[in-house]
Structures are given as structure tokens and as C-alpha cells.
Structure 1
Amino acid sequence: MGEYLGADATALAGLVASGEVTAAELLDLARARAAAVNPDLNAIVIPIEAEADHRARTELTGPFAGVPFLIKDLAQDYRGYPTTRGSRSLARHVATEHATVVQRFLDAGLVVFGKTNTPEFGSKAITESDLWGPARNPWNLDVTPGGSSGGSAAAVAAGVVPAAGANDGGGSIRIPAACTGLVGLKASRGLMPFGPATGEPLFGMGVEGVVTRTVRDAAALYDAIIGPTASSTYPAPLHTESFTARIATPPRLLRIGFTTRSAINPAPHPEAVAAVEHAAQLLTELGHHVEEVDPPHDDAELARDFLEIWFAKAAAQVDEARRLSGAGDADFEADTLALAEIGRAAGVVPLFRALDHVNHHVRALERFHDTHDLLLTPTLAVPPPAVGSMTTPPLLQRAARLAARARVGKVMSRVGIVDQLIEENLGWVPYTQLANMTGRPAISVPLHWTGTGLPLGVQFVGRLGADGDLLALAASLEDAAPWFHRYADISV
């Protein structure tokens, strides 16, 4: 087990390829680790047993042949198993085909043996649902591993697997990576297509991906899964060389602007500020030109636009779940019903206004990139918050259900609930939605640990198609300030 915990996915694949270990032996170790830590973490919620055993006994091909792996229970369908999206409404909805990204994981030789915890419809930056209960952070079981890919991040950080499937519609790869000490790349729009059962969610704001402990695993896994399909909605900004080759060469000296300021959260935690200052100092020592800048965009306006799109998506998701399963109000969480009602009542005008505003945010970031290669920010404005600290009080949950049933979404909007949602739900993660709205790549890397021993990542945002540059920079930071030796060795 010590050897298993000390190897990343690339190393494990090499051991299988050389015959030093078998896929079945690795699967046994992954399951043993899961049995030891998952009762505390609640990271894995749907086991995939028979198929994993079959694949582990089969001669596999691909760059990660024989490596144990987990996928997220949201937008990562595995044929014959439920994709609940963290909702009671879809608890019995069984996928009839593999998602495109899952098929590519399998083609890479990975052995998928379970699905990981996620909040209902991925709508929160924490992983706490009525269906599955809260996932917990292996660095401190009292705090969240983030969301919505929190189950995947918790499992990787605790050493169950060296990497796991994730996706990101507003920070859902980078936020959990920052909470748990992992590498999390949100790729450029269109680089990894969705499908075949669904198109690109959130008008291309959502992307598929992974969370990993090492940069080389991130690079190699993205090499294995990126590229368009015949039904792709967006053209992929493909690169002339693989990410694996790209990270082998140190990045050129970059001009990097950093900021911790946010109109949504005017007082980020001192640890978040310290994380960026530490990263800026390290980058300067590596020879990059680093300077403090004003935020390149109006993040308060962006937050409102982001939520207008999310409200409309919530209404559509609830409607789809009702159609697929015949679900009633009791099968949805109160918060979900409230968001859906706001989206339903708003109509199409706020949605299309928000979509039109995307161009404002793209142009603002473009102006920044005229003079700087990368934007550096905290990934989180605060250290990972306590599990349950963001739960809506029971009285307000009852009020939300009554409001949804009474169809008073317009009243809810007029009384300032949108501003409250921005403050409460995005206030601790105000930096991540920019990359989703603009389609730009962004990566969170674990360069900082708080005084209480919690990870707190920093984020870099690049130009469209600059995924390789972000990975190359992350690889150089990993060399300068290694983090792989750190893993959350929780006691059970």
C-alpha cells in the first residue's frame, strides 16, 4: 500500500506495462484503500464491481492500461449504471451508453470501479446532497473537499486513486483541487467534447476533465481524452504537440499579473492573499515578470450574468428530470426548486442578456492579455469551509419549497435573493467563473497550505488555447515547490 500511495498514474501504468504488477493487483489495492477511508470520506457513492473485475483480467491497451480510476456521478455516464447527478429524482435513471469522456477513459486503459459524490445537478461549490450526504475533506474531515467534483477530489487526495474524472461549469474542477491539494485544469472550451447523449452544457461553459496529484498525470490524461467528435459543437483548439511533450520544456519567461481583489468579496481571507503572494514570489525567483494589477473584468456583473444562465439551466434540469423519471417536488432539494423557479419566472430576456454580456467579459480579458500572458488569483477567497456551514436552514428550505410551488419566482428576484445568492454561494469562490464564461483555460495548483494544515490553491488563467502553457508553468512550479510527497493520510 505504501508503494501504491507513492506512485502517480503514470508510474502505475509503467509498472503494469513492465509486468512488475498486474491490473488486478492494483485494483485490489485501490479497493482496500477505499474500504479504509471511504466510510469517513463518503467520496465513492456508486460501485462498479463486475465491469472493473472483468477489465482488470483483460489485456488492456492505452497509456494508462491497468490503472484504477473513478468517474464523477454527473455527466460521466457509465452504461448500465445510474447517473444520478446527485439527485433523488434520477436515482434510478440508468445510462444506456457511455459518455464520450468515459469511453475515452476506457480507451486509455483505465479501470473504472466507481462513481463519485457530487451535489445535486452540480449546482454548488460544496459536495453535500440530500441523496448521498456530504463528502468530506481527507485533510480535515470537518471541512468540505469543495464541489462539484468533491467526491473525486477527496478520493484522489486520500490515495484511493491517483486521478479521477471531474468536470467544471463554474469552478468544479479547480475549487475541489484547491481544497484538497490537487492539480485541476479547466481546459479551453471545446477541447474535450461532451456527448453523445448530451451536448455542451451551459452554452459551452462546462468542460470535462480530471483532478490529479501530479502535473504529468494531468498532461497525459488530457492527451488521452481531448479532441473533437463528429458531433462536436465547438471546434477544439488542438495543439501541434502533446501536453506531455510540452511540459518537458520549461516555459518561456512570462508576464504575469496578479490580483486578490473582488467586488463580490472585498475582504478575502489573509491565507488566500498569502497564497497569491507566495506564488508571486516563487514566480519572480523563477525569472518571470510578476506585478500586481487591477481585476481585468467587472466580477460583480460577471457573477450576475453567470447566475442568470445557471438559473435557466436549473429550470431546464428540473424539467428534464421530471420528464425522465416522473419526479415530484419531494424528489428535489429545496435550493434546487428555488433556483429553478427563479429561472422559470425570469423568462428568456435575462438569459439572452447574460449571453450577450459574455462578449464584454471576453473583451475585458482580451485587453488584459494584450499586456500579460497569465492572470494569477486565489482559487478560493477563504480556506475550505466547514461541512454543513452552507446548508440552508430548515425554515428557509420550507419557504423555498412553498415559493416554488406558488410560482413566485419574480417576487423572489425583486426582494434581492439573487444578490444574496451571489454573496453566499459565490462569495467564497469569486475567481473561478471568469474562465467558464469566457471559455478560457485555467488551472489550480497546490502551492500553499494554511497555518492549520489545509491546502489552498492558486489559479492561473490563460488565453484561449493556452492549456499547454498553463501545464508547462504548473510543471515548473511543481519542480520548484514539490507537493506530491504530501497526501492526506487520514486515520480510520
Structure 2
Amino acid sequence: MSGFKEYHQYDGLGLAELVRSKQVTAKELLDEAVRRAELVNPKINAINHSLFDLARQSVDNLPEGIFSGVPFLLKDLLSDVQGVVTSNGSKAYNNYLPEKDTELVSRYKATGVNIFGKTNTPEFGLMGITEPDAFGPTRNPWNTQLTSGGSSGGSAAAVAARIVPLASGGDGGGSIRIPAAHCGLFGLKPSRGRTPDVGGEHWDGASCEHVLSLSVRDSAAMLDQIQGAGVGAPYIIKPPEQSYLSALDTPLKPLRIAFTTQSPYGGTVASEYIRAVEDSAALLEGLGHHVEEKRPDFSGDMLLNSYLTMYFGHTAADVVDLKKLLGEQSVKDLEDNTRFLALMGQCLSASDYVSAKRDWFCIKQQMDLFHQDYDLLMTPTNACLPVAVGSLAMSGMKRLQTRLAIAMGAGMAGLFKKSLLEITKGEARKNLDKTPFTQLANLTGQPAMSVPLYWSESNLPVGIQFVAPYCDETTLFKLAAQLEQAQPWCGRMPDIVDLY
């Protein structure tokens, strides 16, 4: 077959069915995915490690799974494949070759997908944009001057550009949902403990792994396959009563849905997102759901402080792990921003961290009370449309100040601990004001999804977020399927697809 131009008309399950029915071969699908990657990746920089030869060696021996033969991409963060570089978006890890697959990667492989590359991510997955020094910026297929979001920005761009119908992601503060919203995709963050932990209770359970996809059913089918605790799991969660995929075909009762467009941090929300939420409320009412405006009663300042304390603390711990694995010299290969965030983590006390974790529980209590009255919370996924590539880069003066603080070290910085932390939290707040709605579900452990229901006047996707009670991915999937039928999005494609 010389090109399979109908490739992007299918989701992952659709492509797998073509392979099962022998209408195409897994090799033909791989050839098409590679052709698309070679055409488009130079324009969007979604794939940072090509594994084309490895995939060709595997193509005739893929497991008989639900996605057998479907080309697949792995986010290059904590997703170890034996003998393949896991760079974590960093020059420091660029020669690190894992000795075995992680549990999650093993589960992906068991579905029959053919992994043919890894996707770009910011260093250590720390940013809501994907612009690592090691690999350069990933660009949004809808407008290549703009960001695809982060930290699963490479995966999002690859799926939006129709290189693959689904790709892996991780979400520690919105890193599946943010880029899904910016790229017009479906993205669901599972409940805490639903999928195997990839990094020893990474981010204290705030981070969860899953996929970004074109269709709802691909996401549901993949979660069916990868869900469940791994060995030594810190959280054991109740399994679903039925498969997520089969649940899509069961009736959805009318839901009580609350919505808010107010940022928990008090920042501005773009008019496109406010209109999209209001229009979504009308759509939901038309589908028979009860919708009303209501904001959950939790402290935005508490949420912000709790999140940033975890963020700083785990960055410091990640740098310690790097030193243990690759030696003290490896730290010099880290970006200035990462080293500075680690320094802030070193400035925190044990009591700072414990107090923040206690606040997680307080916020979860407030959300549990909220869900006594409402089945779901609806918000914008992001507070603004994607920003220009490079617009959030560190200024020359800021870089100089950062390097000075790093040179001072934790001992000297500790003398100015309070002022340094307050200044840094203020700077972080400015960035989080662009994505203020997603961190909540990471701290409470609730499942949350971004659904691509609207496009702006400039033809940019606008995602709507829904948050469900802990352990209730089923309601999210069923609502998403209903919305997908009422207002389909898979047929909307960026112009870059015309290159195929």
C-alpha cells in the first residue's frame, strides 16, 4: 500500500478492527504513521525520539490485544522501555538507558499497540508548555506559532496532527487536560491509584497516567486495559463495576451539574472560555441534565500553596534521585528553572510539607461535601487560549537572578527563605493563572476530563473540564460519549493534516 490516506478517519479501535479483518496490516499502519511523522514532525516537533526501526522489528509479533497493530507514541517522562532512552525532557538523562520496562509500559504493550517513538515534554514535566532546552519547543498543529500546552504537549500535538489516534500522557497538575484542551482532543485524568504509579508515589499521588485520544471510546478501552494497582502500589482503588468501554452503551441518568468560570486563584478568564462554558451549560440542559452556577467552597490560596509546596518538594527530590543515578555532575545539565525550583524545595521545612498535605485533605473534604449536592463540576479547562511559543521564556534579568540564587545554594538561600519562597510563589501564580482549574483534581485525587466542545473565532480548540467524585470515571466517560454524539469533534482537523 502506498499511503493510507483514510488513516485519520479512524480512531484506534477502528484501525485495530481493520487489522483484525485483514483490510490492512499492522506494517501498513506503521508505514503510514512513520510517513506522517516524517512529513509533519519537522513542523511541530512532537516526537523527540524516533523508534521506527524498533517498531518495524516488532510489527509481526505484536500481542493479540484490543489495539493490536495500532501505532502508538509514549510520553518521554518516566515511561521506561528497556534499552531505549528515557530523557524526561532533560539533557541530564539523555544517555540513560533503562534496564526494563515500567509496569505501565508493559500494560500498554499488552494491548497490542506498536510503540514507534517518544514524545516531547518539558524537563521533568514541570511546565504547562512544552519547550525543553534539550529538544526545543513543541508547536500546536492548529497554529504552529502557538504552544500545544504541557506537559504532555508532544503527545497532544502528535494526536492532533493525526500521526496517531492516541498517545500516552501523565497528569500531575493538568498535564493531560491542558494540552488536550489546546489541541482539540479528549483527555481524562483517572482517579488517584487507578493506573500504576510510575515513580514511587510520584508527586504524592497527584500525578496519574493515561492517554490523550481523538475518541472517547479509545480512552475508555485503554483505561480498561491499564487500570489496576501495580506491585507495592501506595493506593488500592475499587475496580469499576463494568468495563468503561461497555459503560458507553448504557443509558446515562440526568445529572446534577454545577459550573463556575471563576478562577480559584482570582485571575482573569478569557471570554472564549466563559462563553464556551455557558454554551456547554445550555447544551447539557438540552440533553436533560440539571445545570446551575455554583462554585465549590474551598480556599484558592490554600489550593495554590498546597500544590506549589508539593511541586517544589518533589522537584528537589527528583534532583536528589538524579544525583544518585547519574552522579553529581549531571545536575549541571539541568535547566536553570529546574535547579531553582529544586532550591525552593530545599528551602521548605518538614513542617511546611506536612501542613500542605493536611490542606490537601481539607480541600478534599470540601469537594466531598460539594458532591453530596452535585454529580459533576464543570469549569473551563484553561483560562486562556494557547500562548505564543517562547512567550513564557525566562527573561535575561530573571535568568541572572535565578543563577545567582542557585550559586548561593540552599544554605545561603535559607537565610532569605521566606522572601524567596513568596517571590517564587508569586511568579508561579502568574503562570498558573493561565491554567488555574486543573490542579484541584490532582490534589483531591478525583477523576477529571477535558472535552473539546468549542472552537474560538480564530479556529483554536476550547476545552471544557468536568470533575467527578473519586472513583467515578464511569460517569465521566458516559457523559463524554453523550457529548461526543451531540457535538462531534473528531471530524474537525487542523490544516496541517492536508499535507498527507
For 2:170, the aligned partner's letter is: N
Q: Which stretch has the larger CA shift, 382-391 or 46-55? A: 46-55
Structure-2 residue corresponding to 1:439: 445
Aligned partner of 1:13 among 16, 27, 48: 16
Decide whether the 8 Å contact of 2:45 with 2:138 is kept in 1.
yes
Aligned pair 1:485/2:487, yes or no? no
| Cα contact 2:347–2:417 (8 A) shared by 1 | no
**Is residue 255–residue 373 contact of structure 1 (8 Å, CA) maintained in 2?**
yes
1:168 partnered with 2:174: no
Matches for 1:335-374 after TM superposition, within 5 Å: 335-374=337-376
Partners in 1 of 2:108 and 2:65 — Cα distance? 9
Match of 1:141, SS state, is strand
What does 1:287-436 align with in structure 2 at a 5 Å threshold? 287-326=288-327, 327-407=329-409, 408-410=412-414, 411=416, 413-415=418-420, 416-436=422-442
Is 2:160–2:183's contact at 8 Å kept on the other side of the alignment? Answer: yes
- Once the two structures are TM-superposed, the CA of residue 272 in structure 1 deviates from its matched residue by 1.1
Q: Which residue of 2 aligns with 1:35?
A: 38
Structure 2 residue 467 is matched with structure 1 residue 461: yes
Q: CA RMSD in A?
A: 1.3
Aligned to 1:44: 47
- 2:63, 2:109 within 8 Å by CA — same for their partners in 1? no
Q: What amino acid is aligned across from residue 13 of structure 1 in structure 2?
A: A
Alignment of 1:231-246 (within 5 A): 231-246=232-247
Q: Which residue in 2 is equivalent to 1:58?
A: 61
CA separation in 1, counterparts of 2:98 and 2:154?
A: 20
Match among 100, 119, 136 for residue 97 of structure 1: 100
Mark the runs of 5 or more structure 1 residues left unpaired by the alignment: none
Cα distance between partner residues in 2 of 1:344 and 1:230: 30
Report the alpha carbon displacement of residue 334 of structure 1 after superposing the two structures with TM.
Answer: 1.0
**Bigger shift: residues 267-276 or 157-166:** 267-276
CA distance in 2, matches of 1:438, 1:368: 13
Identify which range, 94-103 or 19-28, moves more after superposition: 94-103
Mapping of residues 111-126 of structure 1, within 5 Å? 111-126=114-129
Give 1:54 shift: 1.8
| CA spacing shift, 1:40–1:371, aligned 2, 3 Å | same
The worse-fitting range, judged by mean Cα deviation, of 291-300 and 215-224 is 291-300
The letter of the residue matching 1:335 is N
Summarize the alignment of residues 264-275 of structure 1 with structure 2, pairs less than 5 Å apart: 264-275=265-276
Answer yes or no: is the 8 Å Cα contact 1:188–1:237 preserved in 2. Answer: no
1:146: which partner in 2? Answer: 149
Deviation track 1:440-466 (CA, whole Å, cap 9, x = no partner) reads 000000001111110010100000111
Question: Normalized against structure 2, the TM-score is what?
Answer: 0.96
1:191 paired with 2:197, answer no
Give, in whole Å, the separation in 1 of the partners of 2:406 and 2:426. Answer: 17
CA distance in structure 2 between the aligned counterparts of 1:48 and 1:231, rounded to whole angstroms: 30
Q: Counterpart amino acid of 1:36?
A: L
Distance 1:117 1:21 in 2: 29
Amino acid at match of 2:301: A
Counterpart Cα distance in 2 of 1:362 and 1:193 = 22
**Identical columns (%):** 42
What is the CA–CA distance in structure 2 between the aligned matches of 1:419 and 1:206, rounded to whole Å? 20
Tell me, in whole angstroms, the C-alpha distance in 2 between the residues paired with 1:316 and 1:329.
12
What is the rounded CA distance, in whole Å, between the counterparts of 1:396 and 1:259 in structure 2?
35
Matched AA of 1:419? K
* Greater shift in the superposed pair: 333-342 or 109-118: 333-342
In the alignment, is the contact (CA less than 8 A) between 1:89 and 1:322 conserved in 2? no
Query: CA deviation digits over 1:151-171, x for unaligned, max 9?
Result: 000000000000001010110
The code of the aligned residue for 2:486 comes to A
Separation (CA, whole Å) in 2 of partners of 1:450 and 1:296 = 30
Amino acid at match of 1:272: Y
1:177 counterpart (177, 180, 188): 180
Aligned pair count reads: 490
- State how far apart, in whole Å, the 2-side matches of 1:50 and 1:329 are: 32
Give the drift of 1:329: 4.6
User: TM-score under structure 1 normalisation?
Assistant: 0.97
Letter in 1 for 2:297: P
The 8 Å contact of residues 99 and 194 in structure 1, kept in 2 or not, is answered as no
The one-letter code matched in structure 1 to 2:35 is: A
Q: Deviations over 1:303-323 (max 9, x none)?
A: 111000110111111121122
Contact 2:46–2:157, Cα closer than 8 Å, also in 1: yes
